[in-house]
Structure 1
Amino acid sequence: MNRPVNVVRATVAAAFAALLTGLLTAPPAQAAPGPRTLYAAPDGRGSSCTAARPCTPGGARDLARTETGRDVRVLLRNGTYELDEPLVLGAADSGGNGRTVTWTAAPGARPVLSGGRDLTGWRQNTDGTWTADVPAGVTPRQLFVDGRRATRARGESCAASTCDATKAGMTGATATGIATWQRPTDAEAVIRIRWRNYHCRITGVNGDAMTFAQPCWANSASGTDRTGPSWDSTTVDSARYSGVAFFENAPELLDEPGEFVWNSEARTVTYLPRPGENMRRARTVTPHTERLLLVDGAHDITVSGIGFAYAAYRRPGTDEGYAGTQAGLTLTGATGPVDHAGRFYTKPAAAVTVRGGRNIAIDGARFDRLGGAGAILEAGTRDSSLTRSSFTDLSSGAVYVGDTEPMPGAQRAGERNTVAYNTISRTGVEYTDSVGIWAGYEAELTVDHNSLDRLPYSGISVGWGWNQPEAQRSVLRDNRVTDNRITDVMQVAREQHDGGAIYTQGAQPGTVISGNYINRSAFGNTERDGNGIYLDEQSSHILVEKNVVTRVGYKWISNWADYGIRNTARGNWTDTAAPALGGTGSVMTDNRTGLDRLPAEALAVAGRAGARGGPVEQLRTDLARTGTATQSSTEGTAGPELALDADTTTDPRTRSEAGARWQVDLGDERRVRRIEIWNDSSATTADFDVVTDDTTVHVDGKALRPTVLDLDSRTRTVRIVTSGTGRVGLSQVLVHP
């Protein structure tokens, strides 16, 4: 039955009145709580972590754990935070579920977490050196004077004929004078063999023989069945050993300003100042604390604008020493599993380590003056990033991502990590086999728009395991190395060989190397070495496209192994040529090779590469390219024109004879301002004259890759003539106006 209209209206009015009354009398809704801001300071002693009473970083962390319902910001005030142990952020310090946890610099501040110890009380000695006592528990391996790295006192190289290395030790104590040193057991031998680096301390001298710390020496020699692939021949007792690069840390070697010596018995450091240094006023620091920040099992944390300095790397100073394997990883322990794929190698200590992290972001950090590496993301870290940070003056590498196990469990697999817009320069200062950015078995890794400059060995290295059975099936896939700027790497003076600006190992389906600018990798070497993009060993299923690769010591791209398959190189620009890619199904297509000028599109790609872009070295016109080559004789069938083909892998040679000669006729008199002579595979051209129509320049010793001569000549011909009896062997000659 229908209700009267006036009754319905009354009912609605009553309901509305009741609703209005409820709204007016109900308590107001609670707004979401604002973020909690905590303050830390180098001298923080407060417990409330307020702006008025800041606390230590550890105190801020502990207080932040009590906040569960709102965002937390920890602001670090300006200054140096001297740490005896790392700041550890674990699961209890995480964000998540829309809640953020941020550790950042306070506005205008540049906070630095430091592992250094100041050395004070310097006293002058009669010989011009200065000595300071070292606190208990501190073992100086590096020394920084007013922020500038000092060098452990070192001697000259010692050839293998004198310093003959065997599994038992080494000869040469008499000839080097080590037999008469006051404390030879504080000294170390530093040895560089191809891509490896070894640092082992002397433990005894008996006549001409020296012994070395164990297990360092055993791990540096052959026979452990744990060092590298079974075919590896880069141990200290191998045929590739050519001698000791130098011995270091003995007072008898302290003869150059900027050098220091550590005396373990007296517990002193002695230093020879550089001109202008005043040891009474100088701040001298030695790294002591290893890790400065450890993020262990945490998630959803941002670290921004914080500096990390003076972190130590202690293992090389122990009997473990530094038995280098590749890329800054070492073989440790007296025993271990038989392995040829590098699964059980050890990464260096780093200032920042993230283990098993999820959504960890490190941004705008500064890593400098470190005794080890910069940052490590490992043990299943994923969806994390290291961006817009700087790395300079590091003893080891800058960034390590991932691990060496090819088939980790689901929780240990590294995925979707990013290393982008960082600047990396002068790393590997002490451990010259380390690389700028290393990644092991990673999936969907992005290495993008980084700038890497002045590095001793490879720039970016992705993949692991060589061609060993353990590594042939792995989680490697879908990695991207894009738009990076890599200049002046594989520095010749550091004597590390067989690497590249970008280096890969392993089958990596979906991996792309694109838009990178590579300039001067192993430029000026003495042998065929220093690739631009090096698809080494089992590297497979990799696309290399639209990269600019110039002025490299050997091949712009190398894919030599038949078991590295189905790689593609297309649309790249380079000034040299290279053989076809090795392996079934690998192809090269539409590459612009042998250029003597970079076109506009290549200049644009190169100019955009890196953290902030930058200048591009334009190539110089080659007048010899269209010339006519002749030589005094021919060894084999390779004609003289192979020195003009822009291919540094082809070599014409004369016979060994008096006045052996190679010549190019430019076709007309031209003004020549620069000549480049690139040696052949055996550096056979040595002690020679470069002769133009109006100038002769003599070159002592072996030709490099290249030897660069600047001159001002008007000439039609350029001749290369041996001074005595010898051969001329050249891979390339460039003549520039």
Structure 2
Amino acid sequence: MRPNKNILSYFLIPLFVVCCHMESTAQVKFFVAPDGNDLKPGTKEAPLATLTGARDAVRAYKQTNALRSSIEIIVRAGHYEMTEPLVLLPEDGGTSQFPIIYKAEEGSKPQFSGGKKLSGFKVNDEGIWEAKIPECLYYNWRFDQLYVNGKRAVLARTPNNGFLKIGGVKQNIWTRGTGRVAEKAEQVLSFDEANFLSLQGITDEEIENVRFRAYHKWDFTLRFIDKIDRDSARIYTSGQGMKPWNPLFKGGRIVFENYAVALDEAGEWYLNKAGMLYYIPRIGETPENTEIIAPVLENIISVVGDAKNNKLVENIRFEGLAFSHCHYRMPRTGSEPNQAAALINAAIMLEGAKNISFTDCEISRTGQHALWFGKGCSYSKVEHCYLNDLGGGGIYLGDFAPQKGDEHTHNIRLHNNIIQTGGQEFPSAVGVWIGHSSDNEVSHNDIGNFYYSGVSVGWIWGYAESNAKRNQITHNNIHHIGWALLSDMAAVYTLGKSEGTVISNNVVHHVHAYSYGGWGLYTDEGSSDIVMENNLVYSTKTGGFHQHYGENNIIRNNIFAFAKLYQLQCTRVEEHRSFNFERNIVVFDKGVVLQGAWKKIDIHMDNNLYWNTTGDHYVFNGESFADWQKSGHDVNSIIADPYFKDADKYNFKLRNKRNVKNIGFKPFDYELVGVYGKAGWIEKAKLPAAVTKAFDQEVDQNMKEK
């Protein structure tokens, strides 16, 4: 029987259309390998060598082909020494349907380094390694960080541990200017004989490269010195005038670094003006088994769009890639004190970007912050990434000033990340910083081992309009914050009007400041319309909660446990309602319950439970509980055992709900916080025992000194 031509046409035409569609949407792939060459086509057999080469190959492809499928840049395992940042412009993006994907080959973790491996080390008669770095001698290349076998080495410093103490501070203003801070000034730091002795060995030739780190309140000053007066034991330095609210002061702590006689301990390094690098090895290190890397690039990736003119970089994904060795070079003007280290940049900088994602990536061994979604970024995410050993902070969102329209940063999701061990160069940096940015989600992250704050939300001091609104900080584990180094800090810190912001279901613990501060949750200047609920906060210095000043905040259904000095604090008295404090459990074994302006401030405080695990000593701002209740607060609150299973060992599960029911407390499962997934990922989030032990030792020493 002959087939009917019409019937054949009926079947063959759609089949032809399907085949053509499959061909037009076939996956486009470019390959990158350590032994590749950017002059090659980027095929599996002839791979490219760099991310920049891959970007250029994608550009060339898009010029002659319509984007009918996503484009994958598949990166093979190995070490890639980058000689320039990967710069992505609007023409380098994809579409929501067909993104551009930079991804690791399955089962691999390619390592991209912005540094240069150093070699040629010899061991001198004193056991110190030394190598001549020609680029330093002939091209004035300098580096401020050094990494030895994957660990950050210590720039030669005095003292090796602890601090010198400033004997006195005098300021000579050179240019006043119009602001509260002088535009140009000289500071003269004087020392007593004991504290100046270790500086006598600084030679005249190396004075211009000697630096100091002076720690004061919530910040620090990083400067070069201008001269030394050995007869009067004085150090001269110049830059901006000191901030009146946060100056250098008599008795302040200071460290000097970057000079030859300070090189006296294993793990320290020093680079002199003649380009000679010196390093004292740690136990077991030999020139043969040691990799030494000096950072070169100040950015690893720059995503540069223009949101104002609707020229965005869009729809790019990074998956499974590791980036390290990004340099921070201290300018000759030094680094003036700036809260949250907000004036330095990041290894990965984005502006004018939309739908950009980082998944399963790693950023480590940086001189500055890890990643910054700056002005005009939106609808992007960082998930399941490991950020560690950071000179600055982890992830920063938004800008310093409120931006309007398309330049406003919003809707960034930070989820299931490990953000740890930051502030190694800039101790005032934070784990997650949200400036003028809204509608962001910070959830299920592990944020630990920072010297200032874990999460900072808002960037307005007072009640001026802020666009840091509707941010969600939930289910994070925020811990080992402060290290008794800086003051006036917290695990979660807020500023300004923040309508719709919710801080909930977080576990916050081990927070300790140098002097004042060291809170779990801290609503600072102008913090308003924030809800803090279902948080577990324990082992802090001066309180699980503190409000400096703000309006209409709600603090409810939290557990605050075992602060060392005061359990709760409030400071400024204002005419409006400052906050409501309801259905909270406060457990302690030392210190007082309340400290501050509690009887004068406008608050609603009721249906709370208080319990001293070691006795019947309860001090409510200098009064007994009964007298405190007579003021009209906590009328329906109770002193009662919450019946935790083992509060002394930080087990806050309830073995009996009888008493907490009486205040309307609703139990929440605090074990659901932090990162989740495979066992190895969860294990990686645990700080080494040596780190947590060192934290406890710093806390104990600080409490003895206070």
Spell out the pairing of 1:205-604 with structure 2 (5 A cutoff): 205-207=228-230, 208=232, 217-219=238-240, 221-222=241-242, 232-236=244-248, 240=249, 242-263=251-272, 265-297=273-305, 298-314=313-329, 316=330, 318-329=331-342, 346=343, 348-406=344-402, 408-467=403-462, 472-492=464-484, 495-522=485-512, 527-561=515-549, 564-575=550-561, 577-579=567-569, 584-585=576-577, 586-594=579-587
What amino acid is the match of 2:226? Answer: T
Q: What amino acid does structure 2 have at the position aligned with 1:235?
A: P
CA distance in 1 between counterparts of 2:213 and 2:423 reads 14
> 199, 204, 209: which is aligned to 1:178?
199
Q: 2: distance between equivalents of 1:160 and 1:438?
A: 31
AA partner of residue 190 (structure 1): R
Q: Alignment partner of 1:324: what SS?
A: coil
Secondary structure of the corresponding residue to residue 477 of structure 1? coil
Residue type at the aligned position of 2:279: Y
Give the secondary structure class of the aligned counterpart of 1:185: helix
Q: Distance in 2 between matches of 1:63 and 1:518?
A: 47
Structure 1 residue 125 displacement after superposition: 2.0
Q: Give the structure 2 partner of residue 117 of structure 1.
A: 116
- Select between 184-193 and 506-515 the one with higher mean Cα deviation: 184-193
Distance of aligned partners of 1:153 and 1:17 in 2 relative to their CA distance in 1, 3 Å threshold = closer
Distance 2:220 2:303 in 1: 30
**CA positional deviation for 1:28:** 1.4
User: Which secondary structure state, in structure 2, belongs to the residue aligned with residue 63 of structure 1?
Assistant: helix
Residues 269 and 280, structure 2, Cα contact 8 Å, conserved in 1? yes
Q: In structure 2, what is the equivalent of residue 158 of structure 1?
A: 164
Q: CA deviation at 1:349?
A: 2.6
In 2, Cα distance between equivalents of 1:158 and 1:580: 33
Which protein is bigger by CA-based radius of gyration? Answer: 1
Distance verdict in 2 for CA 1:464–1:248, change over 3 Å: same
1:195 aligns with 2:218: yes
CA change 1:551–1:23 in 2 (3 A) is closer
1:694-733 counterparts in 2 under 5 A? none
CA contact (8 A) 1:313 1:350 kept: no
- Does the 8 Å contact 1:185/1:202 carry over to 2? yes
Residues of 1 paired with 2:166 and 2:377: CA distance?
Answer: 44
Partner of 2:57: 63
Identity %: 26
Letter in 1 for 2:545: I
Q: How does 1:575-724 map to 2 (within 5 A)?
A: 575=561, 577-579=567-569, 584-585=576-577, 586-594=579-587, 624-626=614-616
Deviation, 1:594, is 2.2
**Partner Cα separation in structure 1 for residue 171 and residue 56 of structure 2:** 53
Contact persistence 2:519–2:544 (CA under 8 A): yes
**In 2: Cα distance, 1:481 partner to 1:491 partner:** 23
- Inter-partner Cα distance in structure 1 for 2:477 and 2:79: 32
In structure 2, give the amino acid aligned to 1:94: G
2:147 aligned residue (144, 147, 155) = 144
Superposed displacement of residue 296, structure 1: 1.8
Deviation at 1:465, TM superposition (A): 2.4
- Equivalent residue of 1:299, what SS? strand
Say if 1:193 and 1:241, in contact at 8 Å, map to a contact too: no
Distance 1:110 1:206, change over 3 A: same
- For 2:444, the aligned partner's letter is H
Q: Deviations over 1:653-689 (max 9, x none)?
A: xxxxxxxxxxxxxxxxxxxx99xxxxxxxxxxxxxxx
SS in 2 for 1:411: helix
Q: Distance in 1 between matches of 2:5 and 2:701?
A: 96
Instruction: Calculate the TM-score normalised by the size of structure 2.
Output: 0.75
Greater helix share, structure number: 2
Evaluate the alpha carbon distance shift between residue 416 and residue 24 of structure 1 in structure 2; reply closer, same or farther with a 3 A threshold.
Answer: closer
Deviation sequence 1:388-422 (CA, Å, 0-9, x none): 1111111111111111112x131210011111111
Structure 1 residue 203, shift from structure 2 partner: 2.8
State which of 177, 186, 195 in structure 2 corresponds to 1:168. 186
Q: Distance in 2 between matches of 1:83 and 1:147?
A: 17
Q: Secondary structure at the match of 2:327?
A: coil
Shift of the 25–195 alpha-carbon distance from structure 1 to 2, 3 Å rule, reads closer
Alpha-carbon displacement from aligned partner over 1:150-189 (angstroms, at most 9, x marks no partner): 1111113332226766642324488345355222222101
Q: Which amino acid aligns with 2:360?
A: G
Amino acid of the structure 1 residue aligned with 2:504: S
Mapped contact 1:169–1:209 kept (Cα < 8 A): no
Q: Distance in 1 between matches of 2:346 and 2:699?
A: 40
- Contact 2:41/2:48, CA 8 A, preserved across alignment: yes
Do the aligned residues in 1 keep the contact of 2:460 with 2:466 (CA within 8 Å)? no
Query: Whole-Å Cα distance in 1 between the matches of residues 416 and 471 of structure 2?
Result: 17
Q: What SS does structure 1 have at the residue aligned with 2:382?
A: strand
Letter in 2 for 1:367: I
C-alpha distance in 2, partners of 1:241/1:499?
A: 22
Could you list the per-position Cα deviations for residues 81-114 of structure 1 after superposition, in whole angstroms to 9, with x for gaps in the alignment?
Answer: 1112101121111111511211110112111121
Question: Are the structure 2 counterparts of residues 21 and 487 from structure 1 closer, same or farther at C-alpha, using a change threshold of 3 Å?
Answer: closer
Aligned length, in residue pairs? 563
What amino acid sits opposite 1:276 in the alignment? G
Distance 1:55 1:628, change over 3 A: closer
> Unaligned regions of 5+ residues in structure 2, if any?
173-184, 306-312, 591-610, 629-647, 650-697
